[in-house]
A and B are shown apart, each in its own frame.
Chain A
Amino acid sequence: MTTSRLPPAVFTLKQFLQRQKVLGLYRSMLKTIRQVPDDADRKYLRNWAREEFQRNKNASNQDAIRMMITQANMHLDDLRKSLALAKS
């Protein structure tokens, strides 16, 4: 494991993969939010995403984390669909 996002604590492989998934999710979320046309909406959504991810930063139960990932994916899909509708 040579990536440098490795924190001081050591992870099992599953935890490590989950962590990478969460970070990738955060990235996709930010990228999608970037496409929102209105500036105020964009700021609001960015703050919302930031708050949500930061709040659950210290969760350690893998199942809970998995649920949160699913929820985040749902939010992301909602956002993408609304953007697609708004553009058409």
Chain B
Amino acid sequence: MASVILVRCVRGARAVYHPALCLRQGGGGGVRPAAAAAATTSLLARRDFWQQRLVQAPGNAQCVQWRRFSDLPPLTPESIQERVFHVLKLYDKINPEKLQVTSHFMKDLGLDSLDQVEIVMAMEDEFGFEIPDVEAEKLMCPQDIVKYVAEKKDIL
């Protein structure tokens, strides 16, 4: 997905500099300063990088961001919790209404150890890092998982 955004960004940047395409903004001479001014105002107007989406065609310089950072959005404990809940809700053996932060997988949600293994694997997939067996078997409720991920990612 990052590559799609980067491609669009490059296309957009090139379009802004391309004199022929900039004609769409109106006017032949002084196209470049006009386009640059449009781009800087749009940059100032929209500071939120990762919520930016290129809605219109690359030729339209008004929607182009000059810079994109292809990093992921910053991890906060809330976002980790959200993602954990999202993954858990997708799991078919869990009843989404019963799901709480402190609901124990085995005692409250009625899962067994095989399910717990699957859940931890799903978390590994979601957050993109390996969880060793020793740690994995201790994760028994969403709270534990959130705490563990936060520790591993050095944000707590």
Contacts and interface: CB of A to CB of B under 8 A. Distances in A.
A26 B137 contact: no
Mostly, the B contact residues are helix
Interface stretch (B10-18, B62-70, B94-102, B109-117): B109-117
B6 interface: no
Contact of B118 (A5, A7, A30): A30
Interface residues of B, number: 14
Given A24-B133, A27-B133, A7 B106 contact: yes
Mostly, the A contact residues are helix
Interface of B: 106, 112-114, 116-118, 121, 125, 133, 136-138, 140
8 contacts: A7-B106, A7-B112, A23-B114, A24-B133, A30-B118, A30-B121, A31-B121, A57-B112
Given A26-B114, A30-B117, A30-B121, 18 more contacts: A3-B138, A4-B140, A5-B113, A5-B116, A5-B137, A7-B113, A19-B113, A23-B113, A23-B117, A23-B137, A24-B133, A26-B117, A27-B136, A30-B118, A31-B121, A34-B125, A53-B114, A57-B112
